[in-house]
Amino acid sequence: MSQLLKIEDLDAFYGDFQALFEISFEMAEAETVALVGANGAGKSTFLKCLTGLLPTRGQRILYRGNNIAGVPAFKIARQGIAMSPEGRRLFPSLSVKENLMLGANVGRKGQWDLAAVQALFPILEEKRDIPATLLSGGQQQMVAIGRALMSNPALLLLDEVSLGLAPVIVRDIYAALPKIRTGGTAVLLVEQDIGMAMQVSDRMYCFQEGHVSLQGVSADMTRDMISTAYFGREKEVQ
């Protein structure tokens, strides 16, 4: 499979604080990769680097062979990286449909349009004229994912999809993942629920304090390996 994303030695800073240290990361086209790690491990920071929301000028983030480090966020979105951000970040003054339509702003053609997204999450058609933030948490998450899909991304980033949602709703949302994958969209998902992450992904990365602490094929991983990588040595000491 051809390479979609290749990152070597990525560092990221918030002012003087270094959040990521020499991250090396790879993804193939149409692959689903899970990124796990404790709070503050740098998962969301990593996604911000990919989408251009954090400065990465002068580094190397190869996306389909082109370096996108330092490219403005709106251009990266137009090249096909879309994110459903942590906390969903919907536009409260706009309706569900308007939120979705904004995703099509980048003008990329493909299988995802309003009808396709509404077919994926039928509730979004029913609620289309309601202000997006009046929906339930799970429905809002569907809007956020739908909005990202509307741009027909080659790489879909899902940040903490299950955050604050009931397990049954999380399952509903993840049920949509196979349909997203069949279109050839690669998915990088950040997830606190390790079981879910292992189940849906091809490969996994675990971050710990800004470093990659574990990576490999999801099917080969055990919970022990992950919890060691997740919590570091302290776990073994206890």
Query: Is residue 129 at the binding interface for other proteins, with CB under 8 A as the rule?
Result: yes
Among 37, 42, 85, 210, binds other proteins (CB under 8 A): 85
- Count of residues interacting with other proteins (CB under 8 A): 31
If one asks whether residue 116 binds other proteins (CB under 8 A), the answer comes out as no
Toward other proteins, which CB reaches closer, 106 or 200?
Answer: 106
And the tokens for 195? 């079981």
| Least spacing, CB of residue 236 vs other proteins, in Å | 39
Is residue 90 a contact point for other proteins (CB under 8 A)? yes
Contact, 186 vs 30, CB < 8 A?
A: yes
Give the span between the Cα atoms of 188 and 182, in whole angstroms.
Answer: 15
Q: How far is the CB of 2 from other proteins (least distance, A)?
A: 24
Binding segment toward other proteins, per CB under 8 A, in 4-12, 98-106, 135-143, 187-195 = 98-106
Distance CA 60, CA 90 (A): 30
Question: Buried (b) or exposed (e) across 55-83, using 16+ Cβ within 10 A?
Answer: ebeebebbbeeeebbebeeeebbebbbbb
Q: Is 161 in the site for other proteins (CB under 8 A)?
A: no
Burial letters 32-50, b for 16+ CB under 10 A, else e? bbbbbbeeebbbbbbbbbb
Indicate which single residue of 4, 33, 49, 103 sits in contact with other proteins (rule: CB under 8 A): 103
Beta strand extents in the chain (DSSP E only): 3-14, 17-28, 32-37, 61-63, 66-67, 81-84, 155-159, 186-190, 203-208, 211-217
Q: Taking the complex as a whole, how short is the minimal distance between the CB of residue 204 and other proteins, in angstroms?
A: 24
Q: Which residues pair with 158 in a beta bridge?
A: 84, 189
The answer to whether 106 contacts other proteins (rule: CB under 8 A) is yes
15-74 residues in contact with other proteins (CB under 8 A) are 51-53, 72-74
Comparing CB distances to other proteins, the nearer of 121 and 230 is 121
Q: 75 or 223: whose CB is closer to other proteins? A: 75
| Structural contact between residues 120 and 148, judged by C-beta atoms closer than 8 angstroms | no
DSSP 105: G
Residue of 38, 94, 116, 163 interacting with other proteins (CB under 8 A): 94
Give the sign of the dihedral formed by CA 15, CA 18, CA 24, CA 26: negative
> Binding to other proteins (CB under 8 A): which residues in 131-150?
147-148
Closest separation in Å from C-beta 188 to other proteins: 14
What residue ranges bind other proteins (CB under 8 A)? 51-53, 72-74, 77-78, 82-83, 85, 89-95, 97-98, 101-103, 105-107, 128-129, 147-148, 151
